[in-house]
Chains A and B, each alone.
Chain A
Amino acid sequence: MKVNTKKLVLIGVLASAAIILSYIEFLLPPIYSAVPGIKMGLANIAVIFALYSIDGKSAALISVIRVALSALLFGTVTSFIYSACGAILSLTVMILLKKSTLFSPVGVSVAGAVMHNVGQVLCAIIMLGAAEIGYYLVVLSVSAVLAGVLVGLASAVLIKTVKTRP
């Protein structure tokens, strides 16, 4: 990956934006429902913006920085493992879908959100040894679609209005 100063600064700014968004979400009261784990995934706005405005590798780097630093700042070892599992799967799928050029940022975001939950549920099934946790995906998929559409719309607006290359 060709690193120039501009890209370096952009990655730094977007990574800090992602951490702040994670922190805002951490401060919000958790959503109680039939199953745990429903989240907006606001930090994905920064990652999707990077995916479209810089490139896939930078988006992955921002995601890694966000997961590691937010775990250090306000997470636990357990929360780190879960968010890493979700982020790896969601990023892989988002990069592939973006490359396919079949979807708009909204579609990419929805797929990313759903895969984030799939990754976390798989991780929970392995760590806790209870396949029953798979049932959570029924509720989590619906919430992921809703959150994914909102995050995707926000990202699409940003990608359109914020020009990184003058």
Chain B
Amino acid sequence: MPAQLCGQICKIMKNKKLRNDIILISAVLLATAIVALILCAFRKEGGYVSVVQNGKETARYSLSENVTVALENGGTNVLVIENGYAFISDASCPDKICVHHRKIRYAGEAITCLPNKTVIKIVSGEGVDAVS
């Protein structure tokens, strides 16, 4: 059985195109895994939620306080901050992709609503006083 398997692998490796395909796929997966590991290793606790609408920051909310706000920008996204996590509980857009996004808490994580051109992202540090 191992000999047969070896033979199969040799056959695949002799097929140049198939071999290149496998190298390409492995390279993409490996690069993704490395990036994921680096992101995981260097992730920081978030300090506040930054709301970006049409490419501009419009509001900041501290992650340590529990709040519920409706974000208006052509449509509505209801942002909820609860126990240090931020998520969208309801939205006016048809696809509801942002509502199904998992809760976020680490710096750099973001939830995006394309139809309403709204992004909520987590930023480290204390920056709430600057806006409120």
A residues touching B (Cβ–Cβ < 8 Å)? 30, 32, 34-37, 76, 78, 82, 101-104, 106-107, 110-111, 114, 124, 127-130, 132-133, 135-138, 141-142, 144-145, 149
Contact = CB atoms under 8 A, between A and B. Distances in A.
Nearest to B114: A78
B83 to A, nearest CB: 19
Contact of B119 (A78, A110, A130, A149): A130
Contacts, number: 94
B60 interface: no
Interface-central residue, A34, A36, A78, A127, by most chain B CB under 10 Å: A36
Contacts of B17: 101-104, 107
Contact of B28 (A37, A78, A145): A145
A124 B32 contact: no
The secondary-structure label for the interface of chain A is helix
Given A129-B55, A130-B110, A135-B108, A76 B115 contact: yes
Interface in B1-37: 16-18, 20-21, 24-25, 28-29, 31-32, 35-36
B21 A104 contact: yes
24 contacts: A30-B95, A30-B97, A36-B95, A36-B114, A102-B17, A102-B20, A104-B17, A106-B21, A107-B21, A107-B24, A124-B112, A127-B117, A128-B52, A128-B114, A129-B119, A132-B108, A132-B109, A135-B109, A136-B112, A138-B39, A141-B29, A142-B32, A145-B25, A145-B28
